């Protein structure tokens, strides 16, 4: 995914405390009657003068769209009383009771949200992205920004699905002419449907070819997504700063030997699709990569290694082979294989939600090339829309979020998925229950 450019501000803080949980992003505005465009350093000084450790927000987005670093994003902020311990605060400059945010602010906010949701493994929806006023009684972030949050979340979903460098320009171009619907036009998806086989398609295909059923494959993939975002070069985020390298740097230095075998297996850093951490498992992965002459970050290599590992878990393999539901498979993989410190209900349902998405996307119609065809296929009438998406698409047509009368829809499979997740998020906001 494209990363938003963040201007480092090198502000000096008094005591900061590390945040251990991140499950929400809170959007703020300045709100001064003079509709100010304060920079991060000015807000920092104001907050220092109030006796705080420094600026309370993690990011500041200026009227020209520039994103400035406020408080480091690992630290507990000071922006939403009672909710700081688990949230990231983004400050959008302006008074949006009076004015409206600029196009540049909206686009960069959406991209920043998409980036943060990837970094912190959050679903991009209205449960995880809120306006300040949804947490307490305040006008912040102002009615004209608050009313745009659904659109901004839709844009963030869009950015998170993009792979090409120039996708952003296209998104902006389309929103400029289309106005609403978060740039989710079929034109955009047609441009992206040409992309090469997605890792997730490869992973789905791999496990299906091993003979697992759809529930089992979705259950495994939901867990792997929660662990690594399905990125085989993924280095556990907290180690990126402590080791001073990013995913690509770490992978390259393990491959060329400048980061030694001993350091790789003993550094305690989760790595790869399954975020392998324990030294014997990392050693096995390393040997397998060397033995087969492939990069430590190679997707196919990791899938083969993972499959070999799984064969040692006979109980788990039995459960997977006989899985009757996505949830059952997802829980089994979590409890028997991944075994994270947190195995509570929250963690189970978090992973199962991802698993459900993979199931909805790929289950039942897998026959080799058919999945790829699926991404190129267009759905033009409501009758052609698959059952899993039909209620949401009908709803969005009724609400006139999708234009027209249910004909000439020209929706791709990706577009269906985006609309379905948008619609569900939207219904949660306005309180419609199914
Ligand atoms: Zn606020």
Q: How far apart are the CA of 10 and the centre of ligand 1, in A?
A: 23
Ligand 1: distance of its center to the CA of 26 in Å? 8
Say how many Å lie between the CA of residue 162 and the centre of ligand 1.
Answer: 30
Instruction: For the chain, 434 residues long, give each residue's pLDDT as a single digit of tens.
Output: 889 999 999 999 999 999 999 999 999 999 888 889 999 999 999 999 989 999 999 999 999 999 999 999 999 999 999 999 999 999 999 999 999 999 999 999 999 999 999 999 888 888 899 999 999 999 999 999 999 998 888 888 878 776 533 344 434 433 333 333 333 333 333 333 334 567 888 999 999 989 999 999 999 999 999 999 899 999 998 888 888 888 989 999 999 999 999 899 989 999 999 999 988 889 899 988 988 899 999 999 999 999 999 998 999 999 999 999 999 999 999 999 988 888 889 889 999 999 998 998 888 654 444 444 555 678 888 888 877 788 888 888 888 878 777 788 888 877 887 887 777 776 665 545 43
Residue range 199-362, CATH number: 1.10.530.10
53 CA to centre of ligand 1 in angstroms:
18
Which of 106, 113, 143 shows the shortest CA–CA distance to 128? 113
- Cα(145) to ligand 1 centroid in Å equals 12
Helix axes 390-398, 413-430, angle to 10 degrees: 70
| Ligand 1 mean position, distance from CA 70 (Å) | 15
Ligand 1: centre distance to CA 138 (Å): 7
**Token pair listed for 189:** 């998806």
Global pTM value: 0.44
Distance 79 CA to ligand 1 centre (A): 6
CA of 55 to the centre of ligand 1 (A): 13
Dig out the tokens for 364 from the structure. 């039942």
Could you tell me which CATH number the domain at 6-184 has?
3.40.80.10
b/e map 383-404, b = 16+ CB within 10 Å = eebeebbeebbebbbeeebbee
The structural domains of the chain, with segments of one domain joined by +, span 6-184, 199-362, 377-430
Give 12: exposed, middle or buried? Use CB within 10 Å, 0-12, 13-18, 19+: exposed
């Amino acid at each position: 995914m494209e990363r938003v450019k963040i201007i480092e501000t090198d502000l000096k803080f008094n005591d900061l405390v590390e945040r251990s949980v991140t499950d929400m992003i809170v959007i703020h505005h300045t709100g001064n009657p003079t509709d100010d465009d304060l920079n991060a350093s000015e807000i920092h000084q104001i907050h220092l003068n109030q006796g705080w450790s420094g600026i309370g927000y993690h990011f500041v987005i200026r009227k020209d769209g520039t994103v400035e670093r406020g408080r480091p994003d690992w630290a507990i902020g000071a922006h939403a009383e009672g909710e700081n311990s688990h949230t990231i605060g983004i400050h959008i400059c302006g008074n949006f009771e009076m004015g409206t945010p600029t196009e540049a602010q909206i686009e960069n906010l959406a991209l920043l949200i998409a980036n943060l949701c990837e970094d912190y493994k959050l679903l991009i929806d209205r449960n995880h992205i809120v306006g300040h006023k949804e947490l307490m009684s305040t006008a912040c972030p102002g009615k004209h920004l608050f009313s745009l949050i659904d659109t901004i979340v839709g844009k963030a979903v869009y950015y998170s699905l993009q792979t090409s460098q120039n996708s952003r320009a296209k998104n902006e171009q389309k929103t400029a002419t289309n106005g609403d619907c978060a740039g989710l036009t079929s034109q955009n998806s047609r441009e992206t449907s040409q992309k090469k086989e997605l890792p997730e398609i490869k992973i789905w295909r791999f496990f299906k070819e091993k003979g697992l059923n759809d529930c089992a494959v979705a259950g495994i993939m939901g867990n792997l997504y929660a662990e690594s975002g399905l990125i085989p070069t993924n280095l556990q985020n907290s180690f990126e700063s402590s080791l001073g390298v990013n995913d690509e740097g770490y992978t390259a230095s393990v491959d060329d030997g400048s980061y030694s075998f001993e350091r790789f297996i003993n550094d305690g850093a989760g790595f790869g699709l399954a975020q392998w951490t324990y030294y014997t498992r990392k050693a096995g992965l390393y040997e397998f990569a060397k033995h087969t002459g492939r990069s430590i970050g190679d997707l196919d290599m990791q899938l083969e290694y993972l499959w070999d590992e799984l064969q040692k878990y006979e109980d788990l393999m039995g459960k997977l082979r006989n899985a009757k539901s996505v949830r059952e498979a997802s829980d089994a993989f979590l409890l028997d294989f991944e075994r994270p410190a947190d195995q509570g209900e929250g963690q189970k349902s978090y992973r199962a939600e991802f698993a459900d998405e993979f199931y909805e996307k790929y289950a039942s119609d897998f026959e080799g090339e058919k999945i790829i065809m699926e991404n190129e296929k267009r759905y033009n009438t409501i009758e052609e829309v698959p059952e899993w998406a039909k209620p949401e698409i009908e709803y969005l047509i009724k609400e006139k979020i999708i234009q027209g009368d249910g004909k000439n829809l020209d929706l791709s499979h990706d577009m269906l998925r985006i609309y379905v997740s948008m619609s569900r998020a939207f219904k949660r906001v306005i309180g419609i229950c199914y």
